[in-house]
Chain A
Amino acid sequence: MRSQFSCAMTAIAAALLGASHASANSVDLTMYYPVSVGGALTEVVDNLVEEFESEHPDINVEAIYAGNYDDTRVRAMSAMEAGDTPQLSVLFSIDLYELIEQNAIVAFDDLIETEEEQAWLESFYPGLMENGQLDGKTYGIPFQRSTIVLFWNKDAFEAAGLDPETPPENWEEMAEMAATVREASNGEQWGVMVPSTGYPYWMFQAFAFQNGHRLMSDDGTEVYFDDPAAVEALEYWVSLATEHNAMPDGTIEWGTLRQNFIEQSTAMMWHTTGNLTAVRNEANFDFGVAMLPMKTQRGSPTGGGNFYIFEDASEEEQRAAMTFIRWMTAPERAAAWSIDTGYMGVSPAAYDTDALQRYVAEFAPAAVARDQLEHGTAELSTYQGGRVRRALDNAVQAALTGQMSPAEALSQAQREADAALRRYAQ
C-alpha cells in the first residue's frame, strides 16, 4: 500500500517535472539568412542548427534561406510588416540605418548581462564592427564577412612571361600586367575583370579607398561621391578598358565572373573572398589570391552579412537568439564556417583555432582577407541606402559604358544622393 502510494507520488512528481520541463523555455526562433556559395550551403547551415539544438534542447531554430542580400532584406521586412517578425536574421551589414529607422532591431549592448558576454562583444575584428555600430552601440554582429580580393591565374601569368608568384602591388602594375597578358594571348584572354553589375558601388569603394578617399560620413547622412579623389578612382577603372585594353568594354556581369575566371577568359579578377572555396574546388589551374593593389594606400571595403536581433521579440526570445548568435560566432564555428565557405573568420580567436591554423598553413589564400582587414573600411552605408547605392551603381555603369565621363557621372550621383538624403542632413 505504501509502496503503491510512493510509486504514485513518484509518478506524479515525475509527470509534474516532465510537464514543467516541457513548458519551460522551449523557445522557437525564426531566422532568415542569405548566404550563397556554390555547394549545398543550406546543408551547412542546417547541420550547424542541428548541432546547436542538440546542445541547447530548449531552443528551436528555424533557418530560412531567403536568397541574396536584397531578397533577404525584403523578406525580413515584409515578414515584419505582416506581423510575423523573425527573432533574428542575417542581413546585409549595410542595412543598419534602414533597420534602425524602422525601429526594427535592438542594440546588443542592451542585451548584455554578464562579463563573459561583454568580452564576446569585444572579441571581433574592429574593422568588421564598423558597419554594425551607430552612436557607440552595436547592432550587428559579424557572421559571414568578406573583403574584395584579387584572384590571379598563375598559369596565365607564366604563359605571358610574368612571374607567376608576384601579383600586382599597385595600380600601375596591375594595368601593365593585365595589358601584357592580353597582348601575349593575342587578344584571347583578358587581363583583369572587375564586376560592374551586382554590387558596383562596392568595387568602386575599393578603388576610392585605395586612392585615400572615404565615400561617406560616419553617421550615414552625407556622401562624397564627386570628390576629385573619387573621380580619379573611377577614371582609373574606366581606363583599364579604354586605355590599357586590359578589361572588356561595358559592364561585367557579377554572376558569371567566377565562371569566366575558371574558364580562363581572364587572368585576374576582383571578387569577394566568399568565392574562395568555390574557386578552389572548380579551378583546374594554379591560382593565387592577393590583397588588392594600392594607389596611395591598400584598401578594400568589408562586405557581407551580420546577425541582427529584432525588437519585436520577447525578452526570452531575444536571450535565446543571443545564445544562438554567440554559439554561431564562437571561434570553432567561425573557423569551420570560414573553411567551408571562404568568408573570413570573424574574430582573432577564430584564426587561433587549430582548424583554421592548419587550413591557413596549407592554403595561404585563406588568410588574405584577414590580413587585408587592417586596410579595411566600412561598406557604403547611409540612410536611404537603397537609393544612394543605386545612384552610385548607375554612375559607375554610365562611366564604364562610356555614356558619361567619370566626373559627370559622379556629379550626377552626388546630386541624386543629396536629394535622397536631404531630410537627414543636419
Chain B
Amino acid sequence: MNTPATYAPRSRFYYSLPALETVAAWLLAVIWIFPLLYAFWAAFHPSEFMVNFELFAPLTLDNFKNAWAQAPFARYYLNTFALVTGVVVAQFVVCTLAAFAFARFPIPGKNLLFMLVLIQLFVFPEVLIVENYRIASDLGLINTITGIGLPYVASAFGIFLLRQTFKTIPRELEDAARIEGCNWLEILWKVYVPLAKPTYLAYGLVSISHHWNNFLWPLVVTNSVESRPLTVGLGVFSAPETGVNWATVSAATLLSIAPLLVAFLLFQRQFVQSFLRAGIR
C-alpha cells in the first residue's frame, strides 16, 4: 500500500507535544513571521511610525501611491506574468518530451545522456552568467522576456521528475492505447500526461515560485522597463543614487510580493503538497 503522502495525517506518526515545545514552536513561528508583519506595518503607516509602534497610528496608502508612481509596477507585473507563464508552459512541453524519451525509448547511450542532463542541476544558468550573457546577446535575446526564460526551459529537475512519474505508469495502459491505433504522441497525450497531472501541478508551482523570485539572471539580461520583471524592478528601486525612503521601499516590496503571497495563502495546501511531492525521491 503506497498512497502518496497526504498532508494532514490522522492515524500516522502523530505524537503530542509537551507544553514547553508548543511554546517553543509558537515562539519560533512568531519570530519567523515577524519580518513580514513588520513590512506590512511599515508600508501602511507614514514614515514617522517606522519604529514607534503606536497601536492606533494612522493608516495610509500614501506609501503605495508613491511607490506606484515612482516605478512602473503595472508593466513589471505584466512582464513577470508573461515570463512565468511562458517559462512554465515551455518547460512542460520540453521536459515532457525529454522525460518520455528517457522513460520509454531505447536510445543508445541513454544512461549517459541522462547523467549529462542531471549535470544541469549543478551547472545552472547563473553560474555561467558571463558566457550565457554573451550567448543571449548573440541570439538577440537581450532585453526580451524570452531571453530571461530560455536558459531555464530545459530543466534537469523537470525532466527528472517527469521521467520518474512516467516510469510508474503501467505498460498495460499504453498497450491498450496502441491497440486503438494511437501513435506515440497520442499515447503521450492521452495516457501519460493525464496520469502525471499531480506531478505537473507540483512542478508547475515550484517553477512558478522559482521564476517569480529569480533575480540575478534577469538583472543581467534586462535593460529597460520593457522586459524587466518585478524582482529587478524592486532591486533597481531600492538602490538609487540619493538614498531610500524606507516606508516607500516597504510599500514597493509588498507590491512585488503581493500576487505570490496571496496565491500562497489561498492555495497553501497545494503549494505545500507540491513542494512535498517535488522532493520525494
Q: A: which residues have CB within 8 A of B? A: 32, 34-43, 64-69, 71, 75, 78-79, 81-84, 254-259, 271-272, 274-275, 278, 282
Q: Is B70 in the interface zone, CB < 8 Å from A?
A: yes
Q: Is B239 in the interface zone, CB < 8 Å from A?
A: yes
A residues within 8 A CB of B246? 256, 259
23 contacts across the A-B interface (CB closer than 8 A): A32-B223, A37-B241, A37-B242, A42-B72, A64-B223, A64-B224, A65-B225, A66-B223, A67-B240, A68-B240, A71-B236, A78-B142, A79-B223, A82-B143, A83-B140, A84-B142, A256-B246, A258-B242, A271-B243, A272-B241, A274-B242, A275-B243, A278-B242
**In the complex, which of the residues A34, A65, A256 contacts B243, with contact meaning CB atoms closer than 8 Å?**
A256
Q: Is B31 in the interface zone, CB < 8 Å from A?
A: no
A326 to chain B minimum Cβ distance, whole angstroms, is: 25
Are A68 and B223 in touch, CB under 8 angstroms? Answer: no
Chain B CB within 10 Å — which of A66, A257, A275 has the most? A66
B249 to chain A minimum Cβ distance, whole angstroms, is: 9
Summed over the interface, the residue pairs from A and B with CB atoms below 8 Å come to a total of 91
Number of interface residues of B (CB under 8 A): 28
**In the complex, which of the residues A36, A42, A64, A81 contacts B241, with contact meaning CB atoms closer than 8 Å?**
A36
A residues within 8 A CB of B224? 32, 64, 66, 75
The answer to whether A81 and B243 touch (CB under 8 A), given A40-B69, A43-B69, A67-B236, is no
Q: Is B133 in the interface zone, CB < 8 Å from A?
A: yes
Are B244 and A78 in touch, CB under 8 angstroms? Answer: no
Q: Is B209 in the interface zone, CB < 8 Å from A?
A: no
How many Å lie between the Cα of A238 and that of B246 in the bound state?
A: 28
B66 to chain A minimum Cβ distance, whole angstroms, is: 8
The answer to whether A256 and B244 touch (CB under 8 A), given A71-B236, A84-B143, is yes
Q: A63 — nearest CB in chain B belongs to which residue?
A: B224
Are B244 and A81 in touch, CB under 8 angstroms? Answer: no
Are A69 and B241 in touch, CB under 8 angstroms? Answer: yes
Q: Is B137 in the interface zone, CB < 8 Å from A?
A: yes
B residues within 8 A CB of A272? 241-242
Q: A260 — nearest CB in chain B belongs to which residue?
A: B243
Chain B CB within 10 Å — which of A35, A71, A258, A275 has the most? A71
A344 to chain B minimum Cβ distance, whole angstroms, is: 14
Q: B: which residues have CB within 8 A of A? A: 47, 66, 69-72, 133-134, 137, 140, 142-143, 220, 223-225, 235-236, 238-246, 248
Q: B142 — nearest CB in chain A belongs to which residue?
A: A82
Are B70 and A39 in touch, CB under 8 angstroms? Answer: yes
A282 to chain B minimum Cβ distance, whole angstroms, is: 8
A263 to chain B minimum Cβ distance, whole angstroms, is: 8
How many Å lie between the Cα of A36 and that of B235 in the bound state?
A: 13
Q: A74 — nearest CB in chain B belongs to which residue?
A: B220
Q: B245 — nearest CB in chain A belongs to which residue?
A: A38
Are A36 and B242 in touch, CB under 8 angstroms? Answer: yes
A residues within 8 A CB of B241? 34-37, 68-69, 272, 274
Are A82 and B137 in touch, CB under 8 angstroms? Answer: yes
B residues within 8 A CB of A278? 242-243
How many Å lie between the Cα of A34 and that of B223 in the bound state?
A: 12
The answer to whether A259 and B236 touch (CB under 8 A), given A78-B223, A84-B142, is no
20 further contact pairs, Cβ within 8 A, besides A41-B70, A78-B142, A255-B240 = A32-B224, A36-B240, A38-B242, A38-B245, A40-B69, A40-B70, A42-B70, A65-B236, A67-B235, A68-B241, A78-B133, A81-B134, A254-B243, A255-B239, A257-B243, A259-B243, A259-B244, A272-B242, A275-B242, A275-B243
Are A81 and B137 in touch, CB under 8 angstroms? Answer: yes
A343 to chain B minimum Cβ distance, whole angstroms, is: 10
B237 to chain A minimum Cβ distance, whole angstroms, is: 9
How many Å lie between the Cα of A274 and that of B240 in the bound state?
A: 12
How many Å lie between the Cα of A125 and that of B247 in the bound state?
A: 38
Q: B134 — nearest CB in chain A belongs to which residue?
A: A81
A residues within 8 A CB of B238? 255
The answer to whether A78 and B242 touch (CB under 8 A), given A42-B70, A64-B225, is no
How many Å lie between the Cα of A271 and that of B243 in the bound state?
A: 10
Are B70 and A79 in touch, CB under 8 angstroms? Answer: no
B residues within 8 A CB of A258? 242-243
B residues within 8 A CB of A271? 242-243
Are A78 and B220 in touch, CB under 8 angstroms? Answer: yes
The 3 A-B residue pairs with the shortest CB-CB distance, nearest first, are: A36-B240, A82-B142, A67-B236
How many Å lie between the Cα of A43 and that of B139 in the bound state?
A: 34
Chain A CB within 10 Å — which of B71, B134, B238, B242 has the most? B242
Q: A258 — nearest CB in chain B belongs to which residue?
A: B243
B147 to chain A minimum Cβ distance, whole angstroms, is: 9
How many Å lie between the Cα of A282 and that of B248 in the bound state?
A: 13
Are A68 and B70 in touch, CB under 8 angstroms? Answer: no
**In the complex, which of the residues B133, B134, B142, B243 contacts A255, with contact meaning CB atoms closer than 8 Å?**
B243
